[in-house]
Chain A
Amino acid sequence: MTLQTMLLVAAALFSVGLYGAISQQVVVMVMMGLELMLNGVILAAAAFWWFLSPTPDGQVLLLVVITAMTVEMAMGFAVATLLHRSRQSDMTDMATDLSR
């Protein structure tokens, strides 16, 4: 287990999540892609912390990333709920006007 191997695994997780976030049509599946990307970020941050500078600052950064994941999930569920109720749809293609 080295810094490089942990970063490789983190890169793989991030890339798989990116694929999902771009390609999926269902809002919940897009959220899963974003979660997977943050999963990779957590692993990379842990690797940097352990192999470069094992100070409490790195742990606080990880705590912030986990918080960001929670916020993303809560807001994603709220938007998906609103979309489902107002348009009877959970597809991103049906909500392209939100990007305006």
Chain B
Amino acid sequence: MLTGIVFWVLAVIAVATGVAVFRVDSMARATYALAASFIAVGLVLLLVDLEFLGVITVLMMTMEMAVMGIYMIMFMGMNPALMPMDMVHGKRPALAVATGTFVVLAAGALLIPWPTRRGAPAADLVTSLGEAVMESKMLVMMTVSPVLFATIVAALVLALPKGRYDRLGDDLRAGKARR
């Protein structure tokens, strides 16, 4: 009973703050709203005994949104980040696509005869996750690792000043021909 009430409170907070991301009049407020949505979902994960994933979701997204706030102020100045804004295009088509998607997904959630639960969660879920990552699912983690490393390299190549895009512009082939 109590779990159900807490779930619905968190669900309403998650969706309401999610909507607020695109309704509030500044990007800084939108960032805080998105952080609140993620924290609510992280707490829902705790309700289904996903302690490790719930905690890392809350911690990671709180830090990520803090970085996003700093980023906006650093690159866009105080005004665009904190002043009212309404920069959208194709509002009606976007609303129609989003509504259609929700209807299809909701219909699927409600109409599909979902199977009953198979098996029971492990006594210690964090330990079971750790064992899976280090044993049967190690290949997944070994795939994720180079992806993260490639992301670091690619992000630095793109973001650093004096990189090839700054020297040669968008048209790298033309730049090469000029040299």
Among candidates A4, A7, A57, A81, residue contacting B75 with C-beta atoms closer than 8 Å:
A81
Asked if B102 and A11 sit within 8 Å, CB to CB, the answer is: yes
A38-75: CB near B (< 8 Å → 1, else 0) gives 01001100110111111111011011101100110111
B179 interfacial contact with A, CB 8 Å: no
Shortest distance in angstroms between A83's beta carbon and chain B's nearest beta carbon? 10
**Residues in B neighbouring A60, C-beta threshold 8 A:** 129, 132-133, 137, 140
B83 interfacial contact with A, CB 8 Å: no
Which applies to chain A's interface (DSSP): helix, strand, loop or mixed?
helix
Number of A-B contacts (CB under 8 A): 227
**Residues in A neighbouring B75, C-beta threshold 8 A:** 80-81, 84, 90
B1-37: CB near A (< 8 Å → 1, else 0) gives 0011001100100110011011000010011001001
B128 interfacial contact with A, CB 8 Å: yes
Asked if A16 and B98 sit within 8 Å, CB to CB, the answer is: yes
B87 interfacial contact with A, CB 8 Å: yes
Asked if A15 and B102 sit within 8 Å, CB to CB, the answer is: yes
B142 interfacial contact with A, CB 8 Å: no
What is the interface size of chain A, counting residues whose CB is below 8 A from a CB of the partner?
Answer: 69
**Residues in A neighbouring B11, C-beta threshold 8 A:** 5, 9
Question: Which partner residue on chain B sits nearest A3 by CB separation?
Answer: B114
Question: Which partner residue on chain A sits nearest B11 by CB separation?
Answer: A9
B62 interfacial contact with A, CB 8 Å: no
A29–B95 CA distance with the chains assembled, in angstroms: 16
B172 interfacial contact with A, CB 8 Å: no
B residues 70-93 with Cβ under 8 Å of A? 71-72, 75-76, 85, 87-91, 93
**Residues in B neighbouring A84, C-beta threshold 8 A:** 75-76
Among candidates B19, B27, B110, B121, residue contacting A29 with C-beta atoms closer than 8 Å:
B27
Binding site for B on A (CB under 8 A): 1, 3-20, 22-26, 28-29, 32-33, 35-36, 39, 42-43, 46-47, 49-57, 59-60, 62-64, 66-67, 70-71, 73-75, 77-82, 84-86, 90-91, 93, 97
Binding site for A on B (CB under 8 A): 3-4, 7-8, 11, 14-15, 18-19, 21-22, 27, 30-31, 34, 37-38, 41, 44-45, 47-50, 52-53, 56-57, 60, 64, 68, 71-72, 75-76, 85, 87-91, 93-95, 97-99, 101-102, 105-106, 108-110, 114-115, 117-122, 125, 128-129, 131-133, 136-137, 140, 144, 147-148, 151-152, 154-156, 158-159, 161, 165-166, 169-170
Q: Which 3 A-B pairs have the closest CB atoms?
A: A56-B132, A7-B109, A11-B105
